[in-house]
Structure formats: structure tokens, C-alpha cells
Amino acid sequence: MKIKLIFLFLFVGKVVCAQQLGIGQWQVYLPFFNASSVDINEDEAFCATSGGLSTLDRNTKEVQKFSVLDGFASSDVKLVKWNVSAKQLLIVYQNSNIDVLDKGKLYNLPEIFNRNNLGRKNINAVFFKQELAYLSTAFGVVVYNLARKEVRETYFFTENAAPLEVFETVILGDKIFAATSAGIYEANTNDLLIDFRRWRKHAVNQLYPGGVCNAIVDFNGKLYGLFNNQIYVFENNQWLLSSIFGVDVKRLKVVNNRFITIAPFRVIIYDSQFNQLKNIQNTNVFNSVSDVTLLGEEVLIADSKIGLVGFKADASIVNYTPAGPQTKIVKDLSSLNQQLAIAPGGFSDTYSPLFQNLGFTEFKKGEWRNYSEQSNSFLAPIRDITVVHQSSNKTYLGSFVNGLLVKEGDNFNLFNSANSSLQSTMGDAATTRVSGIAEDQRGNIWVSQFGVSSPLSLLKKDGTWQAFSFQDVLPGSFIEAKGLLVDDASQKWLMIRNRGLLIFNGSQARMLGFGTNLLPGTDVLSIKKDLKGALWVGTDRGVAFIESPEDAFSNVEVEIPTLTENGFIRPVLSQEQINCIAIDGANRKWIGTNNGVWLFDEALRKQILNFNTSNSPLMSNRILDIEVEAESGEVFFATEGGLMSYRGDATAASAKLSGITVYPNPVRPGYTGLIAIKGLTEQARIKITDISGALVYQTVAKGGLATWDGRTFNGDAVSSGVYLILIVAEDGTDTAISKLMMVR
């Protein structure tokens, strides 16, 4: 029986897995490379990854992926186990939450997850006995009755008043065995197992090998255990060393009467007489094997670095890993020409490098391209790519360790203190910490640095470099510049940690700090230029805006946007940490905080949307960056839990009313979403009439997009037929007509 979800968990917006999002729909973009567990039933294989559950159809080889957007309790799946007798899939998450997929419906079993007095709650393995599931955990064994979807009993394991971790549990006849952090315990299944005194620890008189046994399995009615690179068999109440090769083995498994030893870089499969059937070793493809199962003659390997791969009978290898980013960590986003560039690096809260080698990723029209040391040796030494900027033909990537990386086509160049004006970090000469990248109107690239005396460098179009120091207004040898922006007057605005903004116009510099009539809070965290040239500044205590940044050296005015609620005027988000700001095609402001996302109108006078983990599919309330794809209106959120997006209702405005697109068209029976009219000029007027000319609806474009819900002014659904869409530019100099077919 093939698993098909008939339960879909929906929030305020719809969720889809297709590449083309409808307005108001969500999408999740998570990696499926970190595979930790794999199992099969008669129709498909199931793979647990840090990005969610993936499935492989045994016949068609079609791969599907599922996540929290499909109703699962979490995206970080640790274990999957198919119960043959009950025909249920047990799904265990890294946070110890549990789902059961039973006849297409999801049931959540949160008992372990919700308990706060258990200490460590890791779930290490699952053993089935009919409808009972024995979960080996960090504190003992939890027995679930999956038919009733409830906990039957719990066996707490302790030694010297401290909990013992159970790595694996096996029932063999009327005996139950538990491999723990203190050795192997055994009991009779008919005993009162909740009384730990009924459990007997294997001892020297049983020739117990000593040390920790991390894995036990039942094979042909005998118990086998893994002890420090050696595999023993327990028979006649004694442990005997077997001839099975155990060097580097981390796990034992039995599938289809085959005994399997799993090492990070090697899988050996034996028949019932321990004749070696296959010895699979291919470090060029996999070297971090987590789990294995058998799909006929094909060996499915779950690897923690490359995902799910199949090793076929002819020794060929097939990759079954769903496409996606190579890591769920996202620090910075850049969108240009429908391509999203993702910088996954990071630094500590004190702005120290993490030295992570995570590469970077590009995403365009549903296609993913991951750049790492595996795909390009040039990237092998590069660490902590934390900022990214795309120009017309180059991508600029800032490393918090190595300097500025420039990608042109498939070629890379690296700039640091040896070949540019970039400086090594004061007190840490081994690092060159790039914190920001911006491009001016002439195509010059400006780079900010953290922890140097000259925090601003210029890479000119002719390839020459120049550094700038501001000792007169910002003295010191360790200037903590966190990022920068270039305004429409080509002035540079540098975010200085705990100091405010440094403004540089090419010949002079000044500081803009905190206080009355100045910036709110004590630290600037983000800065963004809107479509009219105004600057929006996010701080640790709300947001401010500078309507005329060109007056920065004469009479700069900092304003605090306010909202009126219940007759009271209050500053917008004054208690929030403003991590990021993005501008959509209608000049509206998307604001990311540690408590979710807000969308405001152009002047922050009206709140339009607010998303958090309670009212939306957001995987985390901490939003690190937001980027709006101008043409589609898709809003990408870099959250602490990974990359997500929401299809907004505003796109970049067109210069002329040409290439008008209406979708979906025709509108078919059952469709309840919004109808989009795309390719509009700013503030274009739209009138929708029936074929006789009677006005049905009218609206104004948001950027280059307008929407219609298929209803009249009175809220009634329109009937089937052809509808005319009449479009007039705001100044009346341009017009367009389109048609829409409505089928009810």
C-alpha cells in the first residue's frame, strides 16, 4: 500500500509544493542531503532527513518530499520505521516529537516531547512487536501502543541514581534485551518491567565483552551485539566473538533475512550463513553512511552528507535526493533577474568567525546549484560566507574569514589583504572579515570590513582598489562596521556596532548616533533604500526613516513612524529588534524581527500582515533576512529554521502597459484563490466588466500587479463567462485590454 496524505495542515495561507506559487501561498526550501534513516514497505521507500521526509516510489522511482507544510510535526526527521503488521509509518524527530502515518492520516504522539522532567530525551531506535513500538531513549524504554496511539508503559533505566541511555532494544522469544550506556540488560517479557530491579545486567560469567554495546539485532533467532569494532553473538547464555568483520562498524541491521554491517564508508551484506554477498565501498560518492535498506537487488544508502543513493546490481549509483539548498542555515539573500543567491555562513554573537565551510547556493526558476568544496576545489579554504550581492554579470560574496570572493561565470577570484586594499583583522591577522557589499550607480563595488582601521574599501570597475579611513570622526584601529548601503546620491552609509551610522559622501564623513531626534535604540541592525530613495533603518528598538538622505550633511531629519491604535499613537515596533527590512514592488515594507514578520504600507502607517509560528507556516520567529523577487513578488524569508517564501501581491512596476498576463486563465471550477493581473505600470487603474460592459470590479495596481478574488463589489461570485480587463496608466497616457474566461 502506497502512502498518500489525505490530511493537510493549512494556516492562513495555502501551501503548495510546486515551483509556481499562487498569491498567498507558502513554500519551504530545505536540504534533504543529511539523511539519517531509511525504511521500505511494499510500495515505497521512506528517508528521514534534516529537511523533512522524502519518499521513493519502488516502481516509477518518483521522489517526493514532505515537511511541516504538509502537517508533519517538524522538518528535522531523525528516524523512520515501517510497522509491517500494523501497516503504519513511525516518524521520530530530532526534538523527540513523534508522528504516526496510518492509512494516509497523520497522528501526533507528543508525550515525550511535552515532558519537561525527563532530562535528555533523545530517541535512538525503534523495535516493533505487532502493534507495540519499543522506543530506546536517553532515559530508558518507552512502549507505545500504536493501535491506540498512546503510551502503554515506560521503563526507566538508572544506575547510581543517574539515568542510563538505551541505544537499542530487541525482543527475542520471551526475553527483552536493552543495550545501554552501562552495558546490556535483560529481562523476561512477562515480568513487571517498569520495576528496574527485574532487569539483569549481563556480567563476566556470561563472557560479557565489557564496555558499551551500541547496537544489537536479532538474526535467525540469535542476538548479535557490536562491541568496540567487534561483533559478538549471544547463545547459550554466553557472549562469543563471531567471525563477522566489525572494524569501523557503527550499526547492525537485518533486512529480508540479510545481515548488514554499516560503517561510515562501507556496507557489507551477508546471507543467512554469513557468506558475504556485497561489500560496497565508494568514498568518492559516500563516506558518512547512516542507514541502509534493501530494495530488491538495489541497496538504498542514507548518507548524512549526500542524502539517499541507490547502489544497483551492476554497481552503478543513482541519487534519489530531492533538489534543494545544501544547508538549512541562511544568513543573507540577494535577488536579481529571478535568481536568488544564498549566503549560509555566520559569526558568533560577539562577531567572531565560526569557520564553517558551507559554500553558497543559487536558485533560479526551480533549479538549485550548490557551490562547495566538493563541486569546486577553489572553495575548499573559504569559510563563513555571510553576505552576498549580485550584479549584472558577477556575484560578490563576503567571507568573514577570507575576504571578498568574486564569481564570474564559473570562475572565482579571491581578494584579501595580499592583493587589494582590504585589511587583515586587528589582533587576528589570519582573517579578513568582510561584513557588507554594495554597488553604486557607476557599477563600482563598495566593501565594509569588521575589526580594521579603514572599514571601507572601493573596488573600481577598472579592477583597482582604494581604502578609506575615518579617524577624524571614528578614531581607532578596530572599527566594527557591520554592513553598508549606497543611497541615490552615491553616499555610503556604514552600520557601526553600537555607534550608529557613519555617512561618507566621497570627501567628508559624519556620524549619526542615537537619542532624541536621532536614531532609536543603541545599535543599528539593518538599513534599506525604498523605491523613492528614502532610507529605512532597523535598530534594536524599532525602526526609523530618513526621507531625504541627500541632506545628510546639511539638515538630516530622522523620523520615527507611528501607528494609531485605540486612540493612542505609538512608534512602530518600538520594542522589536529589527533584523532586516525589504521593499516590495508597491514600496511596502517587509520587516523581520525575532518575533516574526510584519508587512506595512509604504509609510508604515498601516499594518497589512503579521506572520509568526503561531499563525503561519514560519519555521522560526527569528527572521535573519528578507528578499523580494521583483518579477514574481515572491517574498523569501531567511529564518533560523531555514529558507521559506510567501507569494506576495505586489511586483515591480513595468515601464509600459505591454505584456499583460492574467493567471490563472481560464479560471476552472473549484478554484478559490486570487486572480493576478501582471505587467502593470505603477498605480495603473483596472476595471473589470462582463461582456456586455457592466462594471464588475475595479482596483489599483500594487507595483506591477493587481489581484481580483472573482467576486463583485457585493461579494458575490461572478458567473461563468468572458470578462474584459480594462487598464489605464495613472496619467492616462497608456492603455491595455485583456480577457479572462471564468468557468464555474
Question: How far is Cα 217 from Cα 314, in angstroms, rounded to an integer?
Answer: 29
Question: How far is Cα 491 from Cα 552, in angstroms, rounded to an integer?
Answer: 9
Question: How far is Cα 348 from Cα 353, in angstroms, rounded to an integer?
Answer: 6
- Report residues of the chain scoring pLDDT below 70: 1-20
On whether the CB atoms of residues 31 and 358 are closer than 8 A, the answer is no
| Residue 338 domain flag | yes
Same domain for 403 and 348: yes
Count of structural domains, the chain: 5
| Residue 205 domain flag | yes
On whether the CB atoms of residues 617 and 644 are closer than 8 A, the answer is yes
Same domain for 191 and 110: no
H helix and E strand count, the chain = 1, 67
566 Cα distance to chain centroid = 38
CATH value at residue 34: 2.40.10.360
521: left (phi over 0), alpha (psi -120 to 50) or beta: left
On whether the CB atoms of residues 389 and 405 are closer than 8 A, the answer is no
Question: How far is Cα 93 from Cα 108, in angstroms, rounded to an integer?
Answer: 11
Q: What is the reported pLDDT for 267?
A: 97
β strands within 314-371, DSSP E: 317-319, 332-336, 339-343, 360-364, 367-371
Run of H or E residues at 321: none
Question: Residue 490: helix, strand or coil by DSSP?
Answer: coil
On whether the CB atoms of residues 376 and 370 are closer than 8 A, the answer is no
Find all residues with CB under 8 Å of 407, minimum gap 6, and list them. 371, 394, 395, 396, 397
Same domain for 617 and 473: no
On whether the CB atoms of residues 406 and 395 are closer than 8 A, the answer is yes
Q: What is the reported pLDDT for 286?
A: 85
Burial class for 501, CB neighbours closer than 10 Å (0-12, 13-18, 19+): buried
On whether the CB atoms of residues 597 and 617 are closer than 8 A, the answer is no
Q: What is the reported pLDDT for 24?
A: 93
Find all residues with CB under 8 Å of 411, minimum gap 6, and list them. none
Same domain for 455 and 376: yes
Q: Which three cell numbers stand for residue 564?
A: 494609531
| Residue 587 domain flag | yes
Among 208, 241, 274, residue at a domain's last position = 241
On whether the CB atoms of residues 355 and 343 are closer than 8 A, the answer is no
| Residue 18 domain flag | no
| Residue 271 domain flag | yes
Tell me the β-bridge partners of 397.
388, 405
Same domain for 428 and 388: yes
pLDDT tens readout for residues 96-128:
999 999 999 999 999 999 999 899 999 999 999
Question: How far is Cα 585 from Cα 630, in angstroms, rounded to an integer?
Answer: 6
Of 151, 144, 92, nearest in space to 122 by CA: 92
* Residue found under cell 578614531: 475
Same domain for 158 and 146: yes
For the stretch 117-137, what's the b/e string if a residue is b when 16 or more beta carbons lie within 10 angstroms of its beta carbon? ebeebbbbbbbbeeebbbbbb
CATH value at residue 723: 2.60.40.3110
pLDDT tens readout for residues 228-274:
999 999 999 999 999 999 999 999 999 999 999 999 999 999 999 99
Radius of gyration for the alpha carbons in the chain, expressed in angstroms and rounded: 30
Same domain for 463 and 346: yes
| Residue 504 domain flag | no
Q: Which three cell numbers stand for residue 621?
A: 520567529
Tell me the β-bridge partners of 432.
402
CATH value at residue 173: 2.130.10.10
Instruction: List phi, psi (to 5°) of 193.
Output: -75, -15
Question: What one-letter code names the amino acid at 687?
Answer: K
Of 617, 18, 30, nearest in space to 322 by CA: 30
Question: How far is Cα 294 from Cα 697, in angstroms, rounded to an integer?
Answer: 59
Same domain for 270 and 156: no
Among 299, 322, 345, residue at a domain's last position = 322
Q: What is the reported pLDDT for 309?
A: 96
On whether the CB atoms of residues 341 and 359 are closer than 8 A, the answer is no
Residue by residue, DSSP assigns 553-609 as: TT----B--EEEETTEEEETTTTS---EEEE-TTS-EEEEETTEEEEE-TTS-SEEE
Residue 209: is the preceding peptide bond cis (ω within 30°)? no
| Residue 573 domain flag | yes
Same domain for 353 and 317: no
Among 455, 486, 517, residue at a domain's last position = 486
On whether the CB atoms of residues 438 and 486 are closer than 8 A, the answer is yes
For the stretch 62-75, what's the b/e string if a residue is b when 16 or more beta carbons lie within 10 angstroms of its beta carbon? ebebbbbbbbbbbb
| Residue 527 domain flag | no
295: left (phi over 0), alpha (psi -120 to 50) or beta: beta
Q: What is the reported pLDDT for 2?
A: 62
Q: What is the reported pLDDT for 658?
A: 84
Range of the structural domain that residue 671 is part of: 661-742
pLDDT tens readout for residues 255-265:
999 999 999 99
Same domain for 101 and 55: yes
Same domain for 478 and 351: yes
* Residue found under cell 491506540: 148
Same domain for 647 and 704: no
Question: How far is Cα 6 from Cα 103, in angstroms, rounded to an integer?
Answer: 9
Residue count of the chain: 744
